A and B are shown apart, each in its own frame.
Chain A
Amino acid sequence: NAGVMQNPRHLVRRRGQEARLRCSPMKGHSHVYWYRQLPEEGLKFMVYLQKENIIDESGMPKERFSAEFPKEGPSILRIQQVVRGDSAAYFCASSDGTDNEKLFFGSGTQLSVL
């Protein structure tokens, strides 16, 4: 049973470009969570999605960031017009929704903005 898969592992973008980060949850999981880890900080909650629905986006920056979890395919975290401050590790987690106390995390995508 594959774990939570994130790709790419490393993503380099120039300022102003778009970044698209993908996450495939564990088999049987339909709940996806995105967290961000800025340098020297702990992981911070960004958004919680179920298939085709955003449940809680209270941790998302108001501009340039969006997330989706379509009926088919992985969840996508999209950052438009990236800036240097977006450089961080972005982690995805999933659960089956019955036990939100146990999230399974992916290995993260390290975004570097030049």
Chain B
Amino acid sequence: GEDVEQSLFLSVREGDSSVINCTYTDSSSTYLYWYKQEPGAGLQLLTYIFSNMDMKQDQRLTVLLNKKDKHLSLRIADTQTGDSAIYFCAESTSGTYKYIFGTGTRLKVLA
């Protein structure tokens, strides 16, 4: 079945760039998402990308999609301590509510 994989942990120094990676298996994926979960909070939709795009930039966030390799990444420029959270990658096919989530990457930002 469909699967989404992420590494579990990432540690970076404040001010550096963070790159969180994700791989997925479903070739029919239409949308790919990045969600952020801060302690005690819900999942916050950070950004999403259509599968016919290869890059999307939104302020400090850059999403890169390599559809051939089914690889998605989220780059956070100038990482701040407030970026410490769990980041979930997810995918869905057009019009569906059945998202497939990765296990989440816990980002720790060191001051």
Contact = CB atoms under 8 A, between A and B. Distances in A.
A108 B42 contact: yes
B42 A101 contact: no
Nearest to A102: B45
A63 interface: no
Interface in B69-111: 88, 90, 92, 94-104
B103 A105 contact: no
A40 interface: yes
A42 interface: yes
Contact of A43 (B41, B94, B101): B101
A40 B8 CA distance: 9
Contact of A91 (B31, B42, B45, B100): B42
B12 to A, nearest CB: 23
**Band of interface residues on B:** 20 to 34
A42 B45 contact: no
Nearest to B35: A105
B42 A45 contact: no
A106 B88 CA distance: 15
A45 B4 CA distance: 14
B98 A101 contact: no
B48 A101 contact: yes
B31 A105 contact: no
Interface string A76-109: 0000000000000001010100001111111110
B46 interface: no
B43 interface: yes
A100 B95 contact: yes
Contacts of B103: 40-42
B42 A43 contact: no
A3 B41 CA distance: 11
Given A100-B97, A108-B42, 11 more contacts: A42-B100, A42-B103, A43-B88, A43-B99, A45-B98, A59-B98, A93-B43, A95-B97, A101-B30, A101-B94, A107-B41
